């Protein structure tokens, strides 16, 4: 056995010496041919709010499916529609490499946008290769600015796109404002330091409340540069909430009995609605048919809602009603069922939205977990702002957003929907 092992060992040594004597071995030939581009994906999609937060970047892997080295990688972007919203970064000019694709939402208009990323490399027999990128932007948010102070709110919008709310002044006082065609207009006060606009109709008439020179707050009607005090129901203070195209105003006021009651003001007369003989009530919204919805509280402290029309009141039970559209559809919330859309006695649950207003398409605006959102046809869209307060029939939404550019965490904002 020992002799056999030695013989095998000697044979293996001899074989090794024989190979070395033959000289260096030529590299194997490349059966794959020239280099070839291979992308891990040829389509990407992003979604976001124009002017809002950027969606997370996505990555495409680039490999060489051919033989020779693949170098000189270049990525170019072309657009169909809006330009400038896409950026790309190549990790290397030689494959394998990664291509990071990112969407920048700053200044992107609402709508659907398309871009093409073209990846090329000299010598690759299938160069160039493309990646189709789609961006869905259901809304674009636009900051409306302030009167020089640190914050503002937009509370209502009419069908012409005129917006009302309030803004801080540099002094720290706040005034009712009207945003009209990009201009912010200070509506002034009733003599006191502060005021707030709450509603606007399609004639440009504005209602809200203002501190008076004597101190108490009074409901006002502003028209053509003139602010008119609407008085009270006998108490010290009053607040106007909304106005329809007939000039009928609703809100709530203190009474001589030291209570607060919903009112209807028309032709210079303020009428106590006293919806169901409750201790307190507050009218929140009015439509063109003079249907008024609001909140009531009885002597036991129990809260609920009401719908008032032509002297008759419908008890909405525990539905605290905050908005009504031209069809008489009501939004609010209930302790038992949460946020609701109420149509002719039938209530639809709205999920997580805390509602403020409803338009003619039954689209509801409000906030979800203190983020502005809209509810439409059972689906909720996050608007990435702070609060949504008003919506018109064109789907334009107003409320409050946070803007790093201006340094304001609380600025009046318009959300423009996709066409």
- Give the chain's domains with CATH numbers: 37-137 (2.60.40.10), 140-417 (2.130.10.150)
Helix (H) or strand (E) segment spanning residue 120 = strand 111-120
pLDDT at 3: 35
Percentage of the chain beyond pLDDT 70 is 91
In terms of Cα–Cα distance, which of 65, 75, 78 is closest to 33?
Answer: 65
Q: What is the mean pLDDT of the chain?
A: 91
At 1, the pLDDT band (50, 70, 90 cuts) reads: very low
- Number of C-alpha atoms within 13 angstroms, CB side, residue 145? 11
At 335, the pLDDT band (50, 70, 90 cuts) reads: confident
At 67, the pLDDT band (50, 70, 90 cuts) reads: confident
pLDDT at 243: 98
Query: How far is Cα of residue 289 from the mean position of the Cα atoms in its chain?
Result: 30
At 23, the pLDDT band (50, 70, 90 cuts) reads: very low
**With 60 as the cut, is the pLDDT of residue 82 above it?**
yes
**pLDDT: is 303 or 23 the higher one?**
303
**With 50 as the cut, is the pLDDT of residue 28 above it?**
no
**With 70 as the cut, is the pLDDT of residue 16 above it?**
no
In whole angstroms, how far apart are CA 154 and each of 53, 163, 227? 21, 7, 19
pLDDT at 406: 55
Check: CB of residue 291 under 8 Å from CB of residue 307: yes
**With 90 as the cut, is the pLDDT of residue 403 above it?**
no
Measure the CA–CA gap between 117 and 115, rounded to whole angstroms. 7
Q: Which of 32-36, 345-349, 375-379 has the lowest mean pLDDT?
A: 32-36
At 20, the pLDDT band (50, 70, 90 cuts) reads: very low
Per residue in 385-396, pLDDT (tens digit) is 889 999 999 999
pLDDT at 407: 57
**With 90 as the cut, is the pLDDT of residue 14 above it?**
no
Q: Which of 249-253, 334-338, 353-357 has the lowest mean pLDDT?
A: 334-338
191: left (phi over 0), alpha (psi -120 to 50) or beta: left
At 33, the pLDDT band (50, 70, 90 cuts) reads: confident
In terms of Cα–Cα distance, which of 407, 406, 384, 404 is closest to 137?
Answer: 384
């Amino acid at each position: 056995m020992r002799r056999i092992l030695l013989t095998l060992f000697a044979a293996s040594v001899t074989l090794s010496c024989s190979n070395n004597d033959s000289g260096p071995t030529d590299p194997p030939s490349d059966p794959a041919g020239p280099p070839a581009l291979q992308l891990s994906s040829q389509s990407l999609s992003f979604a976001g709010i124009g002017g809002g937060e950027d969606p997370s970047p996505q990555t495409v892997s680039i490999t060489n499916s051919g033989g020779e080295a693949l170098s000189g990688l270049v990525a170019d972007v072309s657009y169909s529609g809006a330009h400038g919203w896409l950026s790309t970064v190549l990790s290397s000019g030689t494959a394998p490499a990664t291509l990071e694709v990112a969407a920048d939402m700053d200044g992107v208009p609402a709508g659907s946008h398309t871009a093409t990323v073209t990846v090329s490399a000299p010598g690759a027999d299938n160069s160039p290769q493309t990646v189709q990128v789609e961006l869905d932007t259901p809304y674009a948010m636009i900051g409306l600015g302030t009167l020089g102070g640190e914050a503002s709110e937009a509370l209502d919008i009419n069908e012409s796109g005129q917006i009302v709310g309030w803004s801080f002044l540099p002094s720290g006082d706040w005034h009712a404002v009207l945003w009209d065609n990009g201009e912010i207009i200070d509506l002034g006060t009733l003599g006191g330091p502060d005021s707030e606009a709450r509603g606007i109709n399609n004639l440009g008439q504005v209602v809200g409340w203002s501190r008076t020179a004597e101190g108490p707050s009074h409901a006002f009607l502003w028209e053509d540069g003139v602010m008119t005090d609407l008085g009270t129901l006998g108490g010290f203070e009053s607040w106007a909430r909304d106005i329809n195209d007939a000039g009928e105003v609703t809100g709530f006021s203190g009474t001589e009995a030291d209570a607060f009651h919903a009112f209807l003001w028309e032709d210079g007369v303020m009428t106590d609605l006293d919806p169901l003989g409750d201790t307190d009530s507050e009218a929140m919204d009015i439509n063109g048919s003079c249907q008024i919805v609001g909140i009531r509280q009885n002597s036991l402290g129990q809260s609920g809602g009401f719908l008032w029309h032509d002297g008759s009141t419908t008890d909405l039970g525990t539905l605290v009603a905050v908005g009504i559209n031209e069809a008489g559809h009501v939004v609010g919330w209930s302790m038992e069922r949460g946020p609701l859309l109420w149509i002719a006695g039938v209530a639809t649950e709205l999920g997580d939205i805390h509602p403020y207003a409803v338009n003619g398409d039954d689209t509801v605006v409000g906030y979800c977990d203190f983020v502005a959102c809209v509810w439409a046809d059972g689906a909720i869209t996050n608007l990435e702002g702070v609060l949504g307060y008003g919506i018109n029939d064109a789907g334009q939404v107003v409320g409050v957003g946070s803007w790093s550019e201006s340094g304001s965490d609380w600025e009046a904002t318009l959300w423009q929907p996709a066409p």
